[in-house]
Every structure is written in structure tokens, then in C-alpha cells.
Structure 1
Amino acid sequence: MSYGAQQSDLATTWAQLEAGIDPIMNKLSDGLSYKSWMDLYTTIYNYCTSSRMCNHNDEPINGSSSNRGANLMGADLYSNLKTYLKEHLDALKVKADQQMDEDLLTFYTREWKRYTTGTTYVHHIFAYLNRHWVKREIDEGHKTIYDVYTLTLVTWRDHFFGGGLGTIQPKVMDAVLKLIEKQRNGETIDSSIVNSIVDSFVSLGLDENDSTKPTLDVYKQFFETPFIAKTEEYYKMESERFISENSIIDYMKKAESRLAEEDNRVQMYLHSSSQKPLILCCENVLIRNHTGPIQEEFQNLLDQDKLDDLSRMYGLLSRVPESLEKLRLTFEVHVRKQGLSAIEKVAESAQAAPEGEEDEEDEPKGKLAASAAPKKAGDVDSKTYVDALLAVHQKYSSLVETAFRGETGFGASLDRACREFVNRNIVCEKSSSKSPELLAKHCDSLLKKGSKITDEHEVEEVLNSVMTLFKYVEDKDVFQKFYQKQLARRLVNQLSANGDTEESMINKLKDACGFEFTSKLQRMFQDVALSKDLNDQFKEQTARSAEKSDLPDFQILVGGTGQWPLNATTTKFNIPDDLLKTYEKFQSFYQHKFSGRKLNWLFHLGRAEIRANFVKQNGKIPYTFLTSTFQMGVLLQFNAAPSYTFAELQTNTSLDPATLKSALFGLIKSKALIVSNEKTSDPETRYEINKAFKNKKTRVKVDIPMRAEQKAESDETHKGIEDDRSMVIQAAIVRIMKTRKVMQNQLLVTETIDQLKARFRPTVPAIKKCIDMLLEKEYIERMEEQRDMFQYIA
């Protein structure tokens, strides 16, 4: 066969193929029948496997084998197909040049769909060529050879789409950007057109080294880059115009809406990889470029409690993380001011409200009535004070959780602000330990009988709130001391409303501060349980005694000296005859049971119930007086005589004048006794039983403490705290020096503060005083060469 015959065979073959391909590519038929597909496939197969390239002696041309001949003939088909595709696209290009804007996009998407559908059929028709000739060429490293479908995409990309002169891409992209701008301006568009164009850009991304691997290079270069640039330009102009004509609140709403639109735009028709650069671009233009004005509005929103707008502002500025720091600082200052303001209102209210204050000394007129003396700033009601602190914390804690999505930075700002106004406010001016003292008093009012809150769950919630404030208290040792004293009184006087609630509170404190913080509190409960058994055993023994009927009902609480914060009084006390026998029997019972122990009686903490036999109504004894032990001792004197002078009562009870005056104060104030003259502590002042006594209650509390006693007790507690602190500071210094051996003064002070700040914040003068004490005790010494250096003495 001659070469001319070969060319004639190629021409015939291609004419047959073109006649079958042309209707498919131009959508002149609805599809390809199976017979037509097989005819075309067979034509390609016959041509590729023909050996007519050989000469009449059946020798291969140029020494090629029959296989090589098939390869060469495959190359001819491949080349003709490339030429056909280019000519087909040239015709499309002429038509495209006549289109503009949306018409061009409609034309492009329609022809792209037609082209990719048709070339899919063509790809299958040339399956034999793909499996053999194309595969072999690719295996041999020919980079410009692709499977037929990839060839169709490459031809569209390089010959029709492109990126240079004479190609359609610039016009298409310009029309797409105009269409998207219309949508941004509020017009309705057919987003499926943009979606189809994006899909075409993505499909045209082909790896030159491996045609089977798609890339996003075409999409990134020809679509995403100009799209992002146009987006930046559009929003830069819009944002600057809008923020100059509208309020910051309206601008934030606009920015929030625009960001949501752009995020939705990605879902509608952009490739997912564009989301990050698109949103980043919008954040820079809409938020970062206008951070200053937005931040300046933050204080106004806080002042007006605009929760929704604060949430919107946080949502926007959180996209630019560094912009939040200024908001956190503003928020911290605001919360601190609100806390201080709330406490100032509480203090002003306390000062404005007069309180009946019992006169401690004899006034010229000797009057026992209340005087309208205004309170001091520190004399606020514990509940009012704690409620004010909680109200501020709860308000802004809720704000952090809702508006600021619980962000840790704002949480830390809230904590710093709360720590500041809890520990340093107008109530704490004279004593930095006032907050923990009032917090402990509030706990006492919640946990003892008579509390206005009786529901266990509600009490539990309030105690949880108290623990929220407790974490901000710096002087936790002050809280511990006052709480321990008040717990001791509740246990001694059986005033605890609920044992389970008491235990729950101790567990909360243990979780917050550790076992050591609550160890004494837990031991006190153990002593109460042991005392209950002790009382039961004493009653059993007494029940077997012949003198049982002569003994009054009696209960005693025995506590360990080291666990209970109770001190004995210096006054003497003559035990009334009515109690003496019981006292002696229990003393004997206890010594017999615990021979190595010694009982120290704290009569001033005892309580008694006394029937008022001197008053009768309808033949009944209507009143029971609730008294202290000392008041009981005074009242029982009146069984022997109707009246006594102050000196006589002092002789009979052996109480010192101050203690006796305190006991008489409650009896006079409750009108159980009548005083002959107004000088209550005059030795000749006479007291007698008020036989005309009347009261609305049948159980009358006459144990009313004087304010001077309460203040003295508070002062005593504070002095004990200072003494304890001195020992704790010294112990910390010794521990540090024992470890470091040698240390400079300033570093020692700093490390001491760091070690103790979880319990309390020691002052620098207190630390220096303790250092001097340790120098005197020769635990440490100054170094001769450097006087500000200390050395540990082993």
C-alpha cells in the first residue's frame, strides 16, 4: 500500500467519524443510538489496528512493526480530533464576540454544558484510542498527550477560554462581577448562571504533570482573584459611605448582614475554598478598617445595657481578635465602677437609716431608750451588702455568657473587676477584711434557725452564690475565723436550721480551699455527735438515780480546746442552787469516764429556759424566758426575795460589774425586771420582778446583746486573726529561707506574698515585722557584706 493510499484511508475514516461527531457536538440530535456508537467505535478500532501502512513486501515502513503502525495511525486520529475541536471552538468564539454581559453569560453556560455533554460522548467513542495509543504515549512521558475528554477541556481552556487577547475569559469574568454586584445591590439574579460558570472554571484546572489530577489554578487565577479584588473595592466604598451617614449601631447591623450574605454566597455558587479569603477580605474592609469607631461605642452600649448590640459588636470584633483587648479593659473598668457604685448606695442607705443603739454608759438623764444615731459606712447589713455584690456579679456574668459567648478574656476581666470592688470599696476603707466578715455573717443568717429562706434548694442556690463571691475574697482567713465562730455559736445554741445544709457548705469551702481550711469545722461536728452520745449516757445514769425528779432537764456540749474558737471569761460565777447538783453529777460522771481530761466550763455561752411563775393568766403560767446562763443566775435570785440592789446581785452571782450590767441589760430591755432609777450600774440601783409583765409571745427572748459586746467580740476576732497571720507569715519565711539558704530582702518579700496570697494578702510592713521577729529569734541573720541579704541559720 502506498503512502497516498494511507492518506486516502485516513481521510475516509475521519470523514466517517466527523459525520458522527458533528451532530453530537452541535446538539443536532437528542443523543447517540447504540448502533451509531458501535459503528463509530468500530471505525476507530479498524483504523487503529490496520496494518496497511506496510509496503507490498509486507515490510514495515521505516522499520516499524505493525504495532508501531497502529500507534502512528492513532496519532493521526488524535491530531485530527484536536483540529476539529479548535475549529468548533473558533465558531463559538465568533458567536461569543457578539454577546455582552448577561447574554454572554447565558451563551457561555449554555455552550459549556453542550460542549461538555458532547465531548463526554466523544470520549467514550474514542475509548479504544484512550486505552492503547493515549495510554502508551502518557506512559512514555509525553506531557502534551491526554485522554480524549481531558483533551477537550484543555482545548477549551487554551483556545476558547484562555486569559489573553482573543479569548473570552476577560469578558465572561467582567460580566460575572457585574451580575454579583447587582445581587449585592439588592437585585434578584439567576445564581445558577454564576454557579455553572464557577463549575467550568474549576473543571478547567488540570495538572500539567498528571492530567488525572484536577487543580484549582484556573479558578483561583481567573475567578477568585478578580472576585476578591472587586469585593474589597465594593465594600470599601460602601462601608465608608454608610458609616459616615449612619450610627455605629446601624453600621454594625449592616456589616453583620453583609458578612452573612457573603458566607451564604459561598454556599450558593462559589467553590468552598473561597470562603476563607472572601470572609477575610470582608472582615478587613468592614471591621478592621473601622475598629476605632466601633470600639468607641462600646462604653455607651454598656451604660445603656444594650445586650443585643453588645453581642453584635462582640461577634464582629471577635473576627479581629486583637481588637477585643481594648473592650476587655473598658469592660473591667465599667464593672468595677458599677460594683463600687452599688456598695456606695448600700453605705449611703445604711447611714441615712437611724438605728436604735443601746446606751452603754449612764447618760445624764439615765435613759435606756434607743437613740437615733446614724450608722457608719462599715455598719451595713450583711444581707444587703452581699446582695448588692451578687447583683453586680450576676448581671455582668450573664452578659459575659450571652453577649460575649463566655469568652475567657472577658471572664478574666470580670474576675479582676469583682476582686477589686469586693475587697476595696467604701465599706472596706477602714478595714480591708470587712467583706469576708460580712460574707460570713450572711452565711450565718442563712444557716441558722429563723432564716427567711426555708426551702433547702433555695438555700443551696444562695450558698452557691456566696461561694461565687468567696472566690474573690482576698482575706479568706478572715472569713474562716468569723465563720468558725458563728458555726460554733450555732452548734452550741442548737440554732442550725439544717445539718445537711451545714455539711454542704463545709464541703463547698473544702473544695475551694482544701481540707486544712475546714478541718476544724468538721471536728466541731464530730464533737457535737460525740456530745449527743455523752448526754444520752448521762441521762441513762441519771434515770437510775433516786434524785432524778430533783434534776432539771440538762444538755451539755463538750468540745476539744483546739477545734473550737471559744474563750473562757475572766469573771467568776456562782452556780445557782437549782443547777449545782446537776453540775456536780455531770462533773463526776465525766471524770469517771475520762479520767485524764479536764473540763473547763464556759458558762457565758450557755442558754436556759425559765418558766415565769410570777405571772399567771387564767391560772396558767404563760411565759418562758429564753436567757443566757448569767441571766438565769440573776433571775433565780428573785425566788428568794422580790428585789435586789446592783451590789447585792453582784455579791450573790459573783459576776463582775460589766458582765452583770450586760445580763441586766436584756432583762430590763425586755421588761422582765423593773429598775428603780436610771443609773443601771449604780451599786444602790434596785431591781425587782415586773409582775405586770406582758408580751405577745409566750417564749420571750431576753438574751439581747449590747452593741458594745458585739463590737468587742468582732475586735477580739480581728486581733486573733492578726496573731494567726503573724505566725503564718513567719512559717512561710522560714520555709522559703530553709529552701533558698540565702535570699535578698525584696525577693523574700515577693515570694512570701506569692505563697500566702491564696489564703490572705500580707502587707509589706507585716512581712518586715515578721522578718525582724525571726532575726530576734535567730532563725535568720543578715549577711555582713550585704545588709539587704538574709541567711538561714540551720
Structure 2
Amino acid sequence: MGLGSPIDFDEGWDDIEWAIFKLVRILEGLPEPPFDAEDYMVIYSTIYNLCIQKAPHDHSEQLYEAYRESVVAYNAEIVLPSFTDKHGELLLLELVSRWRNHQVLMRWLWHFFIVLDQYYVYKAEVPGLKQVGLVGFREQVFQKVKDNARAAVMGLIHEERQGGLIDRALLKDVIDIFVGIGNGEMSVYEADFEEHMVRGSCEYYSRRALDWIVEASGPDYMFKAEECLRREKERVSHYLHSSSEQKLLEKVHYELVVVYAHQLLDKRDSGCSALLRDNKEEDLARMYRLYNRTPKSLELVVNAFKKHVIDEGKAFVQQAEDAASNQQASNAEHGVVLITKIIEMYDKYVGYVNDCFMKDSLFRKAMREAFEVFCNIPVSGSPSAELLAGFCDSILKKGGCQYSDEAIDETFEKVVKVLAYFNDKDVFVEFCRKKLARRLLFDRSANDDHEKSFLTKLKQNCGGQFTAKMEGMVTDLTLAKDTQTNFKNFLDSNTNIQPGIDLTVTILTTGYWPSYKSDDLNLPEEMVKCVEVFKGFFDTQKKLRKLSWIYSLGTCNVIAKFEPKTMELVVSTYQGALLLLFNYADKLSFSEISTQLNLTNEDLVRLLHSISCAKYKILIKEPNNKAISPNDNFMFNSKFTDKMKRIKIPLPPVDDGTKVIEEVDKDRRYAIDAAIVRIMKSRKVLGHQELVMQSVEQLQRMFKPDIKAIKKRIEDLITREYLERDKENPTMFKYLA
């Protein structure tokens, strides 16, 4: 038959049907010689001629219908019967085989009928040949066996979940059929397989989780859950479609983790709190990985973490309070213990946040809020900021905590970071300044480098306003040494001007140092001469600067001649002045001493108690009791002795904590005023609420301002005509230049 020769349909279809029959036999594995080029050319030419002949010889429509009927017949007579009595894995193998045969058949037929596909299908607007074949297989074969196939696949997946070995390649081939049968649309895969598979997985893991939550510990449960999720993800990569991963993992995660979130976190001996307590970092990291998948679940972990940190911190505070109440230690000692524990907690939990919780912002926020709770609880009446300052003092002073240089440096790094959780940073700074003053003035600082290192770290983390005064204090001490050297040279050069006794004077700059009580102590004649000599020297050096003497900070060494032996007494200037009175009198009354020294009763009681009622009784008191009263008389105790030749007689400590708080409150008023004026100067007009909020934002770097205090300062600034209320809207303020 020549190319293009007119033929009728029946004659042409006989040749085509023969080719289809031969192709089917080859696919079924029956003995049949392969197609050669001549066979292919005959079939192609026949179909070509049937399609391009002019009416009434154009048989395209008949040929299209015959093609469709051939596919239907093949599916009905050969393919579908092949599934009879096949179940499970055999069914799946047959389905894969038949799908592959179908694809081969469609490929060959398309090559045979390509002219039909190119001309008739386009003009007649009917489904293409491959689509006809796909629809035929789907409706005649797939729809009949899909339920059994899906059940077989689910059975194999279940077997694998139970630890069995299965043919993953076979499963992938079957899943590909569920995907491919949709011809590019995922609806068939999703409706006929994925939906059932996900639901079955949920049911499976729901049963497993119910058993595990009762039998397993928290860590074991989480390990099992994470392994299951890992395997499900692996399962997707091996044979399920990638689009199923998120749906499957979300549902499995819900059943394993979300459903039992509360029970898992609250397990008595293995829940979140227990893991934090026992340093189970690996388990905590796993917990984060599991709960991080769903924000609401993660929030439960964050809350559990925050509660645990608060409870632990509060427990340490309560221990310190109990120790103080039972007088098991001094305020300074229990403060050092508490701050040490807080720093250890910081180390521990910042490690958890960074390493286990991947620096998650929710956990950083929870840690900050938790520490802010217990770091701001006073202990035995002492503000927490004072305890932190006392801890720093214990490291920096002589005889304090014995740390290596490296350990001290690391500790100060942690101190400035922990300080961020304390509301009253200005209180901390003021107590630090008080304690630094005592270390510097009384030579109690263990190491100058450590002092500078601490101030540097404080400045770097908190700002220059925190350390300006303390840096000035350190500078003052350096300059004071130069001044003392110059004073010594002055005395050497002016032998006719001598104080009579060794004298060391420390010059301090007003403003840097804490305020000290400066009263009109009547100095003994010996001391008066010293003051006058130094004043004469200082006037030659600093003519424009005025000296104010603070005797309460002074010390002196007094040589006391007792009958048993002569001893050296290290005393305060006040104590020394008092003792020198007994060079000229054997017996003095309380009132006589008060008059000669010009001291208040309160100060004099402290002095007399320290040298007549305490450990070292340099004076004899009449009557002989522990209480000092205005009716007492005092005599020099000539028979006093001690095994030491040199003794230091301390004064009873004065609790200046209240004074510090008062000074800080005063400074806060100025700070609030300055913040309000700065804001109003830049904004000119501002509402009350916004002014308060901006003031809080500016001030919270130094302290947590009280809203009532801000409102009070606003009213004060209005009175002082820095601000005025808007006449039409009282909640609006205007800045007055």
C-alpha cells in the first residue's frame, strides 16, 4: 500500500488492529517477533491516509473511537482480570507491572497514531490520545483496585513502623502511580491516598503516645517522639511524595507532642523542671526541637522554663532571708552567698538559652523577666542592689574572696551582665561608690588593677554616667599621693614649720566622693597644730581651693602608756581626740567630754562605747554597765593590757543604707526633671501619657521610675514654669522656653 493511497476504514483498521494485537502480546510476554521498520511504516502510512483523505474518505473520527475502544477492551479483557485473587504485596507488584505496561502501550500507540493526535484532536477539541489512555486506565483499572492497593501500602508502612523490612522501591512505584494517575494534578493522590495515610498515621501514633506517656520518662518519651518524626521524614524521602511531608509531620507531631504537652512538661521526676534542675542539656535541646515546631507548644516550654528559674531564684533569696533572720551570718556574708548563687544561675541558664534553646528570643525574654523577679527582692531590709555592691566589695577589698586574676575578671563580666536584671542600678552605683571610698581611704583595696578593671567593665556595659564619679575618686587618690610627697618636701625645706607629729592628709574633690558628716570637732592642741601646718602648705599650692576637714574619715596612732606595758592604739580621729583629753584629767564626766569635743550625744555614745564597753576597755566607766548615759563618768584604765603590742579599736558600724537611699531618691528627682525637660524641649507639645512613657524609656537605664513620681515631677515643673498645660486640653503639655 503506497503512502497517501486512498483506503476505506475497515481495510485500514485490519492492519492497525493487527499491530495493536501484536503489541499487546509483546507486553504480555508472549512469543512474538519485534516490530521492524517496515511494520512501523505500514501502520503509520495507514493511519496517515485514514486521517488526511478528503470526505467522504476522512475516517479520523472513526479511528479516534476505534482507538478508545481498543484501550477499553485491553483494560477490561486483559489488565483488570490480572488482579483477581491478588492481595497485599502481590497486588502492588501487579499494579506496578500493569502501570508500566500501560505507559509502554500508550507510548507505542501514540507513535502509531501521532497524525491523529496532531490533526484531529486539535480540530475536534477532544481529549488527546494519552489522556484517553490515562482516563481509561484510571476508570477501568485504578478505581477498581485503589482501595486494596492503598490498604496494602498502609500495611507495609505499618510493618516498617514496627521494625520490619519492606520493599521501599515497590512502595515508591505504587505512590508514583497515585501521583501519575492525576496527570499533573495532585487531587487524586491527596484524596485517594494521602488523606487516608495521614489519618491512619495519626491513629497509629495516638495509640503509641497513649502507652508511652504512661510508661516512659520524659526524656525517653521525647527520644521516641523525635525518632518517630525523623523516621516519618525519612519515609517521605524514600517513597512518599514530597508534598506530604509537612502534612504528615504536623499531624504526627500533634499526636506525639502537642496532645501530651502538659503531661510531658509536668512529669514529676522527668519533666521540664527536673531536666533544668539536673542539667540534662541534651534532653532540653531535644525538647526545644520538638516544641519549636508549634508556637503554642513552645510557649508552654517557655512558661515552664520561666517558672522554674523564678522558683529557684526565690528559694535562694529565702535561704538568705532565713540565714539573716537566724543570725547565721552577717548581712554582708549572706549577701555574698546569695549573689554568688545568682551568678551561678546566670551562667547555667544563659548556657541553656544559648546551647539548648538556640538563643531563641522567647527564652531570652523569659530569662530576663524571671531574673528581674528575684533579683529585686530585698533581703532582711537590704536592697538587692546593695547586696550586689557588697559582693563586688568582697572581691575587691583586702582579705575578701580569694579569686585568681582570671576568675576575678570573669566574675566582673558576669556581675555587669547580671546588673541588667536589677531595677535600681543607681542604688547599686551609689553603694559601690560608698564602698570604693572606704577601700581607697582606709587602704583596704586589694589590687588597683582590679579596681580599674571593674570600673572599665561597668563603663563599657552601662555607660560613663555610672562610673564618672568613681573614676574621679581613683584619680583623686593618685593625686593625693603626689600632694603628700610635696607636703613632705615642704616640711623638709621648712624645718621651722613642723606639725610635731607625723601627718598624712588625703585631698578629695567635692562631688566625686559620697557626702560625709563634717562637724566642728574641737581638736586637741596637738591635732590643731597639724591642721594649721598643712593649711599653710596647701595655700601655697592651691590658693583658689578651700579645704573642708572631714574628721570622721581620719585615723591616728596613739601611744598609750599602761602600767603593764606601753602599747600602740590604732583609732579614729574622734577616738584619738577623746583619749588625748585624759592627758590633762584623771576623770571626766559625759557632759565634760561632750563640751570639750563639741560632739552630739549620739556620736559621743558611739565613741565612749567603743573604748569603755566593747572588747578593749581603755577607759573605765562608772557605773560599770554596758549602757552609756549622760550621768556616766570615765577614767583612764592604767592597768589595761593585751597580748598584742599594737591593737586596732573599731567604732561600732553605722548603717548608712537609709542615707544612701535618701541620696538616691534626691538624685532621682533631678534625673526625672532632666528627662522631662529634654523630652519637652525637643517635642515642644506632648500628651501626658506619651510624656510619661518616654520618660520611663529614658530613665529605665538607671532605675525603674515610679509613674507617680514622674507625675509629681511634671506638676513641680509646671509650678516652676518649665511647662504649662494646654488651656483647651489639660492632658497636653507645652514647653516654656
How much has 1:417 moved relative to structure 2? 3.2
How much has 1:572 moved relative to structure 2? 2.0
CA distance, structure 2, for counterparts of residue 507 and residue 222 of structure 1: 70
Q: How does 1:48-67 map to 2 (within 5 A)?
A: 62=54
1:679-708 Cα shifts (integer Å, max 9, x gaps)? 66767411246673313xx87543x2313x
CA distance, structure 2, for counterparts of residue 100 and residue 176 of structure 1: 11
Q: How does 1:488-499 map to 2 (within 5 A)?
A: 488-499=437-448
Aligned to 2:85: 98
1:265 aligned to which of 216, 223, 235? 235
How much has 1:112 moved relative to structure 2? 5.0
1:191 aligned to which of 161, 165, 168? 168
Contact 1:737 1:792 in 2 (8 A): yes
Q: Does 1:416 align with 2:369?
A: yes
Write the letter of the residue equivalent to 2:246. Answer: K
SS of equivalent residue, structure 1 residue 223: helix
CA distance, structure 2, for counterparts of residue 684 and residue 459 of structure 1: 50
How much has 1:624 moved relative to structure 2? 6.6
How much has 1:570 moved relative to structure 2? 0.5
How much has 1:611 moved relative to structure 2? 7.6
2:95 aligned to which of 108, 114, 119? 108
Q: How does 1:695-774 map to 2 (within 5 A)?
A: 695=644, 700-702=647-649, 704-707=650-653, 710-711=654-655, 713-734=656-677, 753=696, 755-763=698-706, 766-767=709-710, 770=713, 773-774=716-717
Write the letter of the residue equivalent to 1:224. Answer: E
Aligned to 1:319: 293
Aligned to 1:301: 271
Contact 1:781 1:790 in 2 (8 A): yes
CA distance, structure 2, for counterparts of residue 139 and residue 614 of structure 1: 130
2:36 aligned to which of 11, 36, 40? 40
SS of equivalent residue, structure 1 residue 453: coil
How much has 1:667 moved relative to structure 2? 5.2
Contact 1:482 1:717 in 2 (8 A): yes
How much has 1:757 moved relative to structure 2? 3.9
**Structure-2 change in CA distance of 1:251 and 1:758 (3 Å):** same
Q: Does 1:628 align with 2:575?
A: no
Aligned to 1:371: none
Q: Does 1:474 align with 2:474?
A: no
SS of equivalent residue, structure 2 residue 636: strand
Aligned to 1:386: 339
1:249-276 Cα shifts (integer Å, max 9, x gaps)? 8876665554344233223321222110
Write the letter of the residue equivalent to 1:515. Answer: G
CA distance, structure 2, for counterparts of residue 129 and residue 260 of structure 1: 48
Contact 2:265 2:271 in 1 (8 A): no
Contact 1:569 1:602 in 2 (8 A): yes
Percent of aligned positions with the same letter in both sequences?
26
How much has 1:675 moved relative to structure 2? 3.2
1:347 aligned to which of 321, 330, 333? 321
Shifted more, 552-561 versus 102-111: the winner is: 552-561
**Structure-2 change in CA distance of 1:727 and 1:114 (3 Å):** same
CA distance, structure 2, for counterparts of residue 49 and residue 81 of structure 1: 20
1:311-360 Cα shifts (integer Å, max 9, x gaps)? 666555443322444565565455444433432232222222378xxxxx
Write the letter of the residue equivalent to 1:685. Answer: F
Write the letter of the residue equivalent to 2:327. Answer: A
Q: Does 1:229 align with 2:229?
A: no
How much has 1:99 moved relative to structure 2? 1.0
CA distance, structure 1, for counterparts of residue 728 and residue 137 of structure 2: 90
How much has 1:384 moved relative to structure 2? 2.9
**Structure-2 change in CA distance of 1:548 and 1:176 (3 Å):** farther
Aligned to 2:468: 519
Shifted more, 242-251 versus 527-536: the winner is: 242-251
CA distance, structure 2, for counterparts of residue 692 and residue 720 of structure 1: 43
Q: Does 1:559 align with 2:508?
A: yes
2:551 aligned to which of 603, 611, 625? 603
Write the letter of the residue equivalent to 1:705. Answer: L
Write the letter of the residue equivalent to 2:168. Answer: S
CA distance, structure 2, for counterparts of residue 344 and residue 163 of structure 1: 78
CA distance, structure 2, for counterparts of residue 754 and residue 315 of structure 1: 35
Q: Does 1:283 align with 2:253?
A: yes
1:747-772 Cα shifts (integer Å, max 9, x gaps)? 77666555544433444664565456
CA distance, structure 1, for counterparts of residue 584 and residue 269 of structure 2: 74
* TM-score after normalising by structure 1: 0.73
Shifted more, 258-267 versus 780-789: the winner is: 780-789
Q: Does 1:673 align with 2:650?
A: no
How many aligned positions are there?
Answer: 722
**Structure-2 change in CA distance of 1:249 and 1:500 (3 Å):** closer
**Structure-2 change in CA distance of 1:194 and 1:204 (3 Å):** same
Contact 2:138 2:181 in 1 (8 A): no
How much has 1:277 moved relative to structure 2? 0.9
Write the letter of the residue equivalent to 1:321. Answer: P
CA distance, structure 2, for counterparts of residue 114 and residue 611 of structure 1: 118
Contact 1:248 1:294 in 2 (8 A): yes
Write the letter of the residue equivalent to 1:463. Answer: F
Contact 2:398 2:444 in 1 (8 A): yes
How much has 1:89 moved relative to structure 2? 8.7
CA distance, structure 1, for counterparts of residue 442 and residue 120 of structure 2: 102
CA distance, structure 1, for counterparts of residue 40 and residue 142 of structure 2: 36
How much has 1:8 moved relative to structure 2? 7.6
Aligned to 1:364: none
Contact 2:273 2:304 in 1 (8 A): no
Write the letter of the residue equivalent to 2:651. Answer: P
Shifted more, 500-509 versus 475-484: the winner is: 500-509
**Structure-2 change in CA distance of 1:170 and 1:791 (3 Å):** closer
Contact 2:68 2:133 in 1 (8 A): no
Write the letter of the residue equivalent to 1:179. Answer: L
CA distance, structure 1, for counterparts of residue 652 and residue 143 of structure 2: 104
Contact 1:299 1:330 in 2 (8 A): no
Aligned to 2:539: 591
Write the letter of the residue equivalent to 1:414. Answer: M
1:173 aligned to which of 140, 150, 154? 150
Shifted more, 733-742 versus 405-414: the winner is: 733-742
Write the letter of the residue equivalent to 2:336. Answer: K
In the alignment, structure 2 segments of 5+ residues that lack a partner are: none
Aligned to 1:372: none
**Structure-2 change in CA distance of 1:656 and 1:426 (3 Å):** closer
CA-based RMSD of the aligned residues comes to 5.3
Write the letter of the residue equivalent to 1:386. Answer: I
CA distance, structure 1, for counterparts of residue 618 and residue 658 of structure 2: 31
How much has 1:505 moved relative to structure 2? 2.6
SS of equivalent residue, structure 1 residue 381: helix
1:569-611 Cα shifts (integer Å, max 9, x gaps)? 2132537748946x55654444333332222232322345678
Aligned to 2:458: 509
2:159 aligned to which of 182, 186, 189? 182
1:111-134 Cα shifts (integer Å, max 9, x gaps)? 556776x679x77x998998x997
Q: How does 1:426-575 map to 2 (within 5 A)?
A: 427-428=380-381, 434-539=383-488, 555-574=504-523
CA distance, structure 2, for counterparts of residue 323 and residue 732 of structure 1: 42
Aligned to 1:366: none
* TM-score after normalising by structure 2: 0.77
Contact 1:672 1:690 in 2 (8 A): no
